[in-house]
Amino acid sequence: MRGLLRVALLPLVAIATGTVRWLIQGQANLYTMAHTRYYAPDPDLGWRVVADGPPRLGLDALGAVAAYAAALVAAGAVVERWRLPAAWRGALRAVLLVASALPLAVPAWAFARGWLPAGAQTSAPTGVVVDNAEAPASAVDGGLPGLPAGTWTVVPHAGTSVTATIDAGGEDFEARFGRVTGWWRGDPGDLRQPMAAELSVAAAEVDTGIELRSKHASEEYLQSAKYPRITFAWKRLVGAASSGSDTVTFRADGEIGLIGRTHAVAVTGKLRALDAAGRTRLGFAADAPVLVVGASFDVRIADTALAPDRGDFGKDTIAVRVNLVMMPGHPNRSGGN
């Protein structure tokens, strides 16, 4: 009996320390994530996404350690019951004791990778875009003078992304689309002038932080083979107002194309012109005009083809955030990192 307790001791320590990490790591997730996406404060983008953050243990890792411990105890019981020479039994006990230390690598790995930096958050902070109650409700006023009218193109950049926050399968997680294409045509200095915009992301390139979950999201839910693109079209600017000398808050109507259907959405957001210092920090020429857009809207799941008759989703809506870095000119023009 004492031999079995010795075999089980270190795996039990691994389970206990792993559980502590799971409880205090900031998110009690089901699946282990080797690399965490997190949000860090940024003077120009508001918040920036960092892809290679510390890991988060999941219940799957703790379950694997528990199963491993049970297997070791079972093996130890077999060794004790076998009628073996003392030397053989001692050797097998030694092997089991060495093997019992291996599960300690799981919590040790998680703790060794550290914690989120000060001020960082695991989900998009409130205030990244305008709250629905704060957005202008009717009048279109304000603008960003000094910027050229015409077509502004989405730039491939760390500050450009489309992210959906989803409650499904018992977890809250983000589905992120990093490669965004699109344009906005209008006059930043006079938002009362006609404008139009289109955005598009590849459904097959969704990243949920876990490879298998991303594959299911792309192939099963988004049906990327049949509907390869998710689109957004600008319909109408409802209201706009200046918020400081370099920022405009707005409310607009738009339409998304998702899995063969179109859905009207109410959009709120901010449009900001970067100064020379901000443009330099983001990797652009100091004299290059750059706009940063942050917007959000909700999509009602029951209206979509995202399996509305199934109980996979824990909430009625999916919150979508759009963050764009834009420059005037040809769609292939790019900059930044």
**Residue 266 belongs to domain with CATH number:** 2.40.128.110
CA gap 135, 294 in Å, rounded:
12
The two three-digit tokens of residue 43, written as one number: 């003077």
Q: Is 298 helix (H, G, I), strand (E, B) or coil?
A: strand
Does any domain span residue 195?
yes
Same-domain pairing of 105 and 159: no
Q: Which residues contact 126 (CB under 8 A, 6 or more apart)?
A: none
107 shares its domain with 163:
no
pLDDT at 135: 61
183 in the same domain as 230: yes
**Three-class secondary structure of residue 219 per DSSP:** helix
d(CA 16, CA 72): 17
Specify if 335 maps to a domain: no
Q: Is the model's pTM score more than 0.85? A: no
User: Are residues 179 and 39 both part of a single domain?
Assistant: no
Q: Are residues 311 and 178 in the same domain?
A: yes
pLDDT per residue of the chain (337 residues) written in tens, 0 to 9? 565 667 888 889 999 999 999 988 877 778 888 877 788 888 888 777 777 788 888 899 999 999 998 898 888 888 777 776 777 777 887 888 888 899 999 999 999 988 888 778 777 665 444 445 456 667 888 789 889 999 999 999 888 989 898 887 777 788 888 789 999 999 999 999 999 999 999 999 999 888 888 998 899 889 999 999 999 999 999 999 888 778 899 999 999 999 999 999 999 988 999 999 999 998 999 999 999 998 989 999 888 888 655 567 878 889 898 989 999 985 544 333 3
Residues 197, 61, single domain; the answer is no
Domain that holds residue 36: 2-112
134 domain residue, yes or no: no
Where among 112, 129, 159 does a domain terminate?
A: 112
Q: How many CB atoms are located within 10 Å of the residue 306 CB?
A: 21
pLDDT tens digits, 287-304: 999 999 989 899 998 888
Query: Rounded CA gap, 172 and 213, in Å?
Result: 12
Cα–Cα dist 308/313, whole Å: 9
SS3 track for 139-160: CECCCCCCCCCEEEEECCCCCC
